[in-house]
Structure 1
Amino acid sequence: MLRIILGASGAVLAAGLAALNLSPIGQIYLPSATGIVAKQMCSLTWVSGLDPDQARAMYLDPLLGDAGSVLTHHIDADNHQVTANFLGLFWTQRAVWRDGLGCTLVHGGHGFDPDLTVPVAHDFMPMELDTAHRDAWFDREALDAAVLGAFDDAAQDSRNTLGVAILHQGRLVAEHYAPGASRETRFHGWSMTKSVITTLAGSMVQDGMLDIRAEGDIPALAAVGDPRLADITVESLLRMTGGLAIAELNNGMDPNSQMLFTAWDMPHFAATRERLHAPGDHWQYMSGNTILASDTMQRRLGDSLPEQIAALRARIYEPLGIYSAIMEPGENGVFQGSSYMYATAQDWARLGQLYLDNGVANGTRILPEDWYSIVAEPTPGSGGGYGMGFWLPTEATGLPPETIMMSGFQGQWGYVLPAQELVIVRFGATIGVSSRSGRLAREVVDALRPPAPVEVPPVEVPEAGASEDEPL
């Protein structure tokens, strides 16, 4: 009798698991949950260099909520990989770290080469604090209060701010890091990565390699064979007006979660979604748009992933002195250009500085002269809040109207304020509460005090008849 009962119970359990596996929960939600655990624990451990327990506690457990108790992970330090699953058995996902490429979710091979590496050629080059410039231009007490105020008061909140860096006129005037992080930490920018891809687009436009308004120029869409998709351009994708059904709700059940954590070919996933609107007719923030644009550009950078990574570094990173940046690819080698770039706070700030410098780095023009105005042009339908790959300040933000902003999930922010010649970046693991990063930016602006003008003694005018060669 016991055998019959156990057999019947086993059959019921198996049938239940089979039904669950065929449902949206089994097809999308649980693979997305185990996928984000494996991917993030891998990247935060070996790319960011954070303590794994700290990373899980800050970045993942608040995000997963009650589900976190049934989602386990295992770090294989010898093979540089992390596996995660449900109840220790089901819906297992695996992420693999490779030097210079970061971590990639590996669903089933698909040509993935675990031995491929593209090491970064140079160590991170830190800027040192310019105290003389800071003291000449800022109210020191107000600036310090703004920066320290961006970090947690443990008795009141849990914003989990990890790093802040501020540049003024290209000089480092402030930085601060939470315990466990430092100026060497590569911070996950999440959707700040979209601004990097938009910068790559600008560099390719500058060199005549890309026309962002050309139709029929998106390879992943051309492969679908639907002529209605030919009118989607790189610009419409970067402006989030591509019109495809790639909704981003960050709830684990949306197409974006399915794309990020279950698809081995993300551009194909995005390209095969239903067309809902003609390009330009409807604004909706969706990472799949940037995935399609990123894939389009990457294919023009070389014939192999190492060549493409080298070209990205040579075009954007190295001219700016950025040597910490890691752009992670998906399983098929395509840049995850919507969400997966990691870099130090200073190097993220260096990217913003390129825009303050009107697209010029060390005397070389990287971006077209009008690129700032292009990315800062409000996209119709966005309520004035989105340009092209950058967010824009609305009146409610209290920021100068010419500001452009990089922004990412869990409170990643980068502010570029041209009138004030400021770049402000903030990184953390903020879930369920405001990061109050806008207040940080406003307080830094308020702390700015232009130095008093230097009194120049009046020039003596020579008397009539004096020789022109006589020194004045």
Structure 2
Amino acid sequence: MTILRWIGAGLAVIIIAGLVWLNTSTIGRIYLPTATGITAKQICSLTFVSGMDPDLARELYIDPLLGGASVLVSANVDRDDHSVHSRVLGLWHNEAVWREGLGCTLTHGSRDFDRDLRMPWQHAPEYYTLDTVHRDEAFDTAALDAAIDGAFDESFSPRNTLAVVVLHDGRLVAERYAPGFSRENRLHSWSMAKSVAATLAGAMTLNGQLDVYEPGTIELLDGLGAEGEATTIDDLLRMTGGRAAHEINDGTDPNSDMLFTETDMARFSATRERLFAPGEHWEYMSGDTVLATWEMQSRLGETLEQQVRAVRALIFEPAGIHSPVFEADASGTLQGSSYVYATPHDWARLMQIYLDDGMANGQRILPENWRDYVTTETPGSDGIYGSGFWLAPEITPQAFYMSGFQGQTTLAIPEHGLVIVRMGATTYTGTGTWTMARSVMAALND
């Protein structure tokens, strides 16, 4: 019996030591909370905002990212409570809560999180009517159809294209959706949200509420030294803020930590270690855009409700865009780097504003030539990044686009009056979007 007791005690020590190590290691501190965070958050948003079946949402968007760890992560959808709970081995837990008009938020147990706040849209989403007359005049219709067909797999895998929309001169000339999806699904932006943030900056500039080049105006950087005080909104939108908010998306990097374990993402970004002076070094990182969004929304009202209404009034409602759900973190910061959900038509409509030099429905939404601002190359980006938008000189000299993780793309080709939206859940393979875009251009009649 003494031997058995010693063995039992030894096993207990090993188990306790293992749990202590696991909880203090990168795996326990970041990776496993991140795994439960992305599972709860994505299933919540894709279920309650996008209208997807939770099992399909997990199969397309989440399990490919988790890999072998996916079998350890459980998720429970509570449709009565509008929440999703995810767990790993009963030790790591995350909760995401849906609020109408505000989407889903990881609560992280925050006592200040208002679970009852609702902000429904007052108008139903609007949809373009397919302009067959314009399409048939402007395109070889068979070639256009073939270009769109080529963007889709015979089954969901491996590219998982969910939606394609094509505008020409502001008219809908083509659209197609994967089985079970339609023009009504609000689809996830991931980093296309950064283009929304840059658009908000333009609208606020037009109204005199913002000067993107003014230093010393970012409240969360007050007291963090001269370089913090010198940082501008332009630096943040261009991702030259200089802090250690590296983005690898491996579940342990600062960006994964920010998105899925932090209650206040903007404060997390603001307090990261300073590595470079503002404007000195370009590195793609979502933390800069989150901080820029926080500063902008803080000027639009005292409460999240006031701020969301202001954002809608500035950039969405005048353009007839009534579907976007701009999600916030548990502290109320609008997640301008990654979390905007909208219909494919509204992603196209938002880009069309840029082709129309900031105008929509006869109303100016952005300053004249704001497109020139967002498409001006950021030094150090090797000619591929502007301000919240990517540049696509391999398509045409003037082409630019919104881009998001897992293959979200809204591409503008000004030389041909084209806007092409491609939405999907593509992981670890090509999307075929550029091939489709070139085929659409080739289908234009001379």
Shorter-chain TM band: over 0.9
Partner of residue 332, structure 1: 331
1:301 counterpart SS class? coil
Partner of residue 14, structure 1: 16
Q: Distance in 2 between matches of 1:401 and 1:51?
A: 41
- Whether 2:30 is the aligned partner of 1:28: answer yes
Q: Distance in 2 between matches of 1:209 and 1:324?
A: 25
1:292 counterpart SS class? helix
Map 1:386-397 to 2 at 5 A. Answer: 386-394=385-393, 397=394
1:426 alignment partner, one of 411, 422, 427: 422
- Whether 2:136 is the aligned partner of 1:135: answer yes
Partner of residue 200, structure 1: 200
Deviation at 1:351, TM superposition (A): 0.4
Deviation at 1:184, TM superposition (A): 0.5
Deviation at 1:11, TM superposition (A): 4.1
Map 1:248-397 to 2 at 5 A. Answer: 248-394=247-393, 397=394
1:166 partner amino acid: V
2:415 counterpart SS class? coil
Partner of residue 215, structure 1: 215
Q: Distance in 2 between matches of 1:153 and 1:383?
A: 36
Partner of residue 77, structure 2: 75
- Whether 2:67 is the aligned partner of 1:101: answer no
1:405 counterpart SS class? strand
Deviation at 1:7, TM superposition (A): 5.5
Q: Distance in 1 between matches of 2:12 and 2:185?
A: 48
Contact 1:143 / 1:447 at 8 angstroms: preserved in 2? Answer: yes
Partner of residue 166, structure 1: 166
Contact 1:110 / 1:331 at 8 angstroms: preserved in 2? Answer: no
Q: Distance in 1 between matches of 2:257 and 2:65?
A: 17
Q: Distance in 2 between matches of 1:272 and 1:320?
A: 36
Deviation at 1:6, TM superposition (A): 4.8
Map 1:391-430 to 2 at 5 A. Answer: 391-394=390-393, 397=394, 399-430=395-426
Partner of residue 435, structure 2: 439
Residues 27-52 of structure 1 deviation map (CA, whole Å, 9 limit, x = unaligned):
11111111000000000000000111
Contact 1:51 / 1:180 at 8 angstroms: preserved in 2? Answer: no
Residues 367-422 of structure 1 deviation map (CA, whole Å, 9 limit, x = unaligned):
1112111111111100100011100014xx3x111111100000000101111111
1:374 counterpart SS class? helix
Partner of residue 43, structure 2: 41
**Cα gap change, 1:45 to 1:3, in 2 (>3 Å):** farther
Deviation at 1:325, TM superposition (A): 0.4
Deviation at 1:297, TM superposition (A): 0.4
1:94 partner amino acid: E
| TM-score (norm: length of structure 2) | 0.97
Deviation at 1:5, TM superposition (A): 4.8
Q: Distance in 2 between matches of 1:52 and 1:7?
A: 43
Q: Distance in 1 between matches of 2:186 and 2:51?
A: 7
Partner of residue 240, structure 2: 241
Q: Distance in 2 between matches of 1:110 and 1:359?
A: 41
2:294 partner amino acid: D
RMSD across aligned C-alpha pairs, in angstroms?
A: 1.3
2:416 counterpart SS class? coil
Residues 212-254 of structure 1 deviation map (CA, whole Å, 9 limit, x = unaligned):
00001111111x5423311110001111111111000000111
1:51 alignment partner, one of 41, 50, 53: 53
Deviation at 1:4, TM superposition (A): 6.3
Partner of residue 152, structure 2: 151
1:196 partner amino acid: V
Residues 281-304 of structure 1 deviation map (CA, whole Å, 9 limit, x = unaligned):
111000001001000100111111
2:420 counterpart SS class? strand
Q: Distance in 2 between matches of 1:116 and 1:385?
A: 40
Contact 1:164 / 1:176 at 8 angstroms: preserved in 2? Answer: yes
Percent identical across equivalent pairs? 55
1:62 partner amino acid: P
Deviation at 1:8, TM superposition (A): 4.5
Contact 1:317 / 1:323 at 8 angstroms: preserved in 2? Answer: yes
Q: Distance in 2 between matches of 1:19 and 1:158?
A: 37
1:123 counterpart SS class? coil
1:140 partner amino acid: T
> Which one is further off, 13-22 or 267-276?
13-22
Q: Distance in 2 between matches of 1:171 and 1:417?
A: 14
Contact 2:227 / 2:278 at 8 angstroms: preserved in 1? Answer: no
How many residues in Structure 1 have an aligned counterpart in Structure 2?
A: 444
Partner of residue 187, structure 2: 187
| TM-score (norm: length of structure 1) | 0.92
Gaps of 5+ in 1: 451-472
Q: Distance in 2 between matches of 1:370 and 1:277?
A: 30
Deviation at 1:320, TM superposition (A): 1.1
> Based on CA coordinates, which of the two structures has the bigger radius of gyration?
1
Deviation at 1:115, TM superposition (A): 0.7
Partner of residue 65, structure 2: 63
Contact 1:110 / 1:332 at 8 angstroms: preserved in 2? Answer: no
Deviation at 1:18, TM superposition (A): 1.8
1:419 counterpart SS class? helix
**Cα gap change, 1:6 to 1:180, in 2 (>3 Å):** farther
